Amino acid sequence: MEFLIQGRSKEDGIKALDAASQARVAVQRLRQMTGTLKYMQDKDIADIFAREKNRIGVIIGHIDEQLTKTPRKSSPGVGKSFTWVKQDLQKEWNKYMDFTFEHARKRATDFMATWLKALKEEWESSKKTEVAKDFKGNAQAKQNKKKELEQTQKDILALVKKTEDEWDKVKDWKKPANWNEKDEEDTGDDGADQEDQEAAGQDAV
């Protein structure tokens, strides 16, 4: 991103672009992150995300509980058996998902803060409007080039400002309201209940 913002990227399909065009690509990548958080905060998506997280936790907790009832022999012919000791796997799963959520949020906010700042610093610089010393042309041509550079700077900074404004609307990513609900049975709307019932019916036939 640093080289892209500075117009020095050597990426395939990008290295031939001028500095302003490379900066626009950088802005597009920042918008992708904004779009991702906007998507994750959609009411329906957030609800499904939390329900599936809880559902997996319940299943893991059930496995943890059932394993205590199933001693495992160490090897064929050896009478010694080992009994599973409950590990509170549902609680551990929830702790893991809490960590994962916070880690994802921090990565997103750090990414945006770092590169929005870099874009502004790069494009607010007076160097962006300086005509190259080796510019070939008369005084009028040089003046026209100066105006062109100033307009390009203004356009890029407007894009950055718009991107920052949109990011401000979604950057406070909170966990879904139902994040910690206990889904004790498979009652989701994802079709899993029906699949389980169908499977049970086939086994009975």
Q: Is 192 inside a domain boundary?
A: no
pLDDT of residue 79: 60
Percentage of the chain beyond pLDDT 90 is: 70
Rounded to 5 degrees, φ, ψ at 82 are -120, 130
pTM of the model as a whole: 0.76
Q: Is 79 inside a domain boundary?
A: no
pLDDT of residue 136: 86
Q: Is 141 inside a domain boundary?
A: no
103-123 pLDDT, tens digit each: 999 999 999 999 999 999 999
Task: Say which residue, 177 or 81, is predicted with more confidence.
Answer: 177
pLDDT of residue 154: 96
Q: Is 168 inside a domain boundary?
A: yes
Number of domains in the chain: 1
Question: What mean pLDDT do residues 45-62 have?
Answer: 96
pLDDT of residue 137: 84
Rounded to 5 degrees, φ, ψ at 81 are -125, 160
pLDDT for 20 beyond 80:
yes
Q: Reduce the DSSP state of residue 13 to 3 states and report it.
A: coil
pLDDT tier for residue 48 given thresholds of 50, 70 and 90: very high
pLDDT of residue 77: 61
Q: Is 191 inside a domain boundary?
A: no
Mean pLDDT check: name the lowest of 132-146, 171-185, 191-205.
191-205
Q: Is 169 inside a domain boundary?
A: yes
Q: Is 195 inside a domain boundary?
A: no
Helix axes of 139-170 and 19-40: crossing angle, nearest 10 degrees: 10
CA distance 34 to 190: 27
Mean pLDDT of the chain: 86
pLDDT of residue 134: 85
Instruction: Look at the block and give the residue holding tokens 């290295």.
Output: 15
pLDDT for 62 beyond 60:
yes
63-86 pLDDT, tens digit each: 999 988 877 766 666 666 678 889
Question: What mean pLDDT do residues 158-164 have?
Answer: 96
Q: Is 199 inside a domain boundary?
A: no
What's the domain range around 20?
1-72+84-124+152-180
Q: Is 179 in contact with 53 (CB distance < 8 Å)? A: yes
pLDDT tier for residue 32 given thresholds of 50, 70 and 90: very high
